[in-house]
Amino acid sequence: MSQMKSMLLAMLFFVGFIIPGFLLFFIDSTNQNAFLKTTKEITELVKEDAGVSDRVKSVVNDYKAKGYTISFTNQHGQPVNGIANYGDTIQVHYQYTFKSVFKDQTLESSNKVFILKRNGENRPGWENGGELQPRSVVKLTTESKNATHEETFVIPGMTQLKSVTSNTGSVEVVRVEGNRVTVRATNGSPSKKVQTGGTVMADDTKIVTDSIVKTKASDLPNSKEYSQDGYEGTLTRHGEMKVKQTGGEYIPAQTKEVGNQTSPNYSDSEGFKGTLERYLHSGKYTPEQSKFVTGQTSAHYSDSEGYRGTLSQYVASGSYSPGDTKYFHGNGYGFIGYTKFQVRECGNYKGCLFWSYDGFEEAWLVDYSDELGYEGRLVPIKTYPPNYSGFFNELPRDNYYLGRTIQFPTYGNYYAPGFITKPGYDTRVFRYQGIVTKPAEDTRVYRYGGKVTKPAVDTRTYEYTQEYKGTATKKGLDTRTYDTYYQYRLTFEYE
């Protein structure tokens, strides 16, 4: 029984480790050889077409589908996407990713191409742009465990070196002495790997669960990273979140009615708060009033009821007539003064002959008044000739009067101009009247009242638990050791 168990373990070891090892070595070796072949093909094609021609682009696209990434830069590090000029250098960069037994493998390389054609075409009559057709020879470097390798090659018949290219990595000329060329190749892909020991253990996968506890539900992530005993993976939420109260209490909101407050913003020591509405607490509002008063003795009015105002004057009784003076032309008949007469002679039948020589010996005034009330004293002016003669029968026939001057009162028409005056009078009695106003009166007192609220108090604390589930993988252990060897395939072009 023990022998069969040993044979079974040996078989499992052979199937699990030895066969995968050989398979890994075979796959890696095959892909490395294919990679070397591809880099050489593309490099030669770029050289032949003097740059990245349409043909080169077509081949590159074909290899892109096979896992290759190929790019081109000039000597200045700028991308190249067309035909280059004579003397330019094009660096071809290769990257190839392929699937191995346990994981993807990547090979990288870089080759340098010297452009020896002018504008990519030969001019008529020129076999190679006026240059001599170079010759080429391929040399392999000595296999080395070092990726940087310097070696001297002898090129028979070489008088001038034109270029050196490598199938992988990059190559530079160190020195040229006659037909001896020393080059340094670097950054190439391994030409082979030789296992020197170790084994490979496959990955182990298992389903694991874990949980997270938080005091806030928002702190729970949607996923969590798992790493324990070498197993690693990303777990996602599994099932409903569990909630557990760990302390505190909840007191719901409360309300109450308040009134007789002097401010609309209410708060008290119990924690009640709110905005109150205004209401009429006491007093009233009496709007402005007015009334008409008359017969007042003052323009400024006020009374016990609170009415105030300024009144307008009016005539309560009496009348007013202003005095008037005017120039008057008076005519009349009456005593007009004394007329002096000089007696010239007297006769028995005619009386005494006289001559009037001066009328109005003495001036007089006429007092005037009429029904319109005008009055005045006028100075009359005589209206007959100043001198006339005739017989005056009233004198006695006596020679005593001969030669004498006598005067008699004279009556007649007169013309008396002058100023007459009508006196004015004012019997008016003045009083005051108008609209007086009693101002509005506002004795209202307002207060505030309404419902106020005490907010709910929530001191509860919670514990939130979320379960996570997923696949965790323990990476297989690869203890294999290798010796990596590098070998460069160099192409020398010379004259």
Q: What is the DSSP string of 50-118?
A: TBS-HHHHHHHHHHHTTTEEEEEEETTS-B--SBPPTT-EEEEEEEEEEE-SSSEEEEEEEEEEE--SS
Percent of residues, the chain, with pLDDT higher than 70: 76
Please answer whether residues 414 and 381 qualify as being in contact, where contact means their C-beta atoms are separated by less than 8 angstroms: yes
Percent of residues, the chain, with pLDDT higher than 90: 45
Going by the DSSP 8-state scheme, the letter that residue 134 receives in this structure is P
Say which range, 54-68, 137-151, 308-322, 381-395, has the weakest mean pLDDT.
381-395
Q: What is the DSSP string of 283-329?
A: --EE--EEEEEEEES-SEEE-TT--EEEPEEEEEE--EE--EEEEEE
Question: What confidence score (pLDDT) does residue 109 get?
Answer: 82
Would you place residue 294 in the very low, low, confident or very high pLDDT band (cuts 50, 70, 90)? very high
* Residue 293 shares a structural domain with residue 340: no
Taking only the tens place, the pLDDT of each residue in 22-59 is 455 556 677 788 888 888 888 888 888 888 988 888 88
Taking only the tens place, the pLDDT of each residue in 159-187 is 999 999 999 999 999 999 999 999 999 99
The β-bridge relationship of strands 265-267 and 351-358 is unpaired
Structure tokens, 344: 């010239």
Across residues 466-493, what is the average pLDDT?
92
Would you place residue 148 in the very low, low, confident or very high pLDDT band (cuts 50, 70, 90)? very high
* Residue 164 shares a structural domain with residue 21: yes
In terms of phi and psi (left: phi > 0; alpha: psi -120 to 50; beta: otherwise), the region of 207 is beta
Going by the DSSP 8-state scheme, the letter that residue 214 receives in this structure is E
* Residue 111 shares a structural domain with residue 40: yes
State the helix-helix crossing angle for 19-49 and 54-64, rounded to 10 degrees. 170
Task: Beginning with the edge strand found earlier in the chain, give each strand of the sheet holding 135-140 in spatial order.
Answer: 135-140, 489-494, 161-166
CA angle at 47 for the pair 44 and 52, rounded to the nearest 5°: 105
Pairwise CA distance, residues 427 & 94, whole Å: 136
* Residue 39 shares a structural domain with residue 182: yes
105 vs 349, residue with greater confidence: 105
Q: What is the DSSP string of 343-391?
A: EEEEETTTEEEEEEEES-SS---EEEE-TTS-EEEE--EE-S-S-EEEE
CA angle at 154 for the pair 150 and 158, rounded to the nearest 5°: 125
Pairwise CA distance, residues 238 & 261, whole Å: 58
* Residue 86 shares a structural domain with residue 223: no
Count Cα neighbours of 210 within 13 Å in the Cβ-side half-sphere.
Answer: 19
* Residue 145 shares a structural domain with residue 30: yes
Structure tokens, 278: 């205004």
Confidence check: pLDDT of 479 > 90: no
* Residue 77 shares a structural domain with residue 175: yes
* Residue 86 shares a structural domain with residue 190: yes
Question: What confidence score (pLDDT) does residue 3 get?
Answer: 60
Taking only the tens place, the pLDDT of each residue in 197-241 is 888 888 899 999 999 999 999 999 999 999 999 899 999 999 999
Pairwise CA distance, residues 403 & 179, whole Å: 201
Structure tokens, 409: 């009162």
Query: Of the candidates 112, 56, 50, which has an alpha carbon nearest to the alpha carbon of residue 85?
Result: 50
* Residue 80 shares a structural domain with residue 120: yes
4 vs 371, residue with greater confidence: 371
* Residue 310 shares a structural domain with residue 326: no
Please answer whether residues 294 and 478 qualify as being in contact, where contact means their C-beta atoms are separated by less than 8 angstroms: no
Query: Does the CA dihedral 290-296-301-307 come out positive or negative?
Result: negative
Question: How far, CA to CA in Å, does 433 sit from each of 77, 199, 296, 485?
Answer: 112, 131, 6, 133
Taking only the tens place, the pLDDT of each residue in 240-257 is 999 999 999 999 999 999
Would you place residue 362 in the very low, low, confident or very high pLDDT band (cuts 50, 70, 90)? very low
Number of neighbours of residue 452 by Cβ within 10 angstroms: 21
* Residue 162 shares a structural domain with residue 265: no
* Residue 168 shares a structural domain with residue 215: no
180 vs 7, residue with greater confidence: 180
Confidence check: pLDDT of 18 > 70: no
Q: How many domains is the chain built from?
A: 5
Is the overall model pTM greater than 0.85, yes or no? no
- Residue 261's domain comprises 254-284+446-455
Residue type, 235: L
Question: What confidence score (pLDDT) does residue 359 get?
Answer: 43
Please answer whether residues 100 and 478 qualify as being in contact, where contact means their C-beta atoms are separated by less than 8 angstroms: no
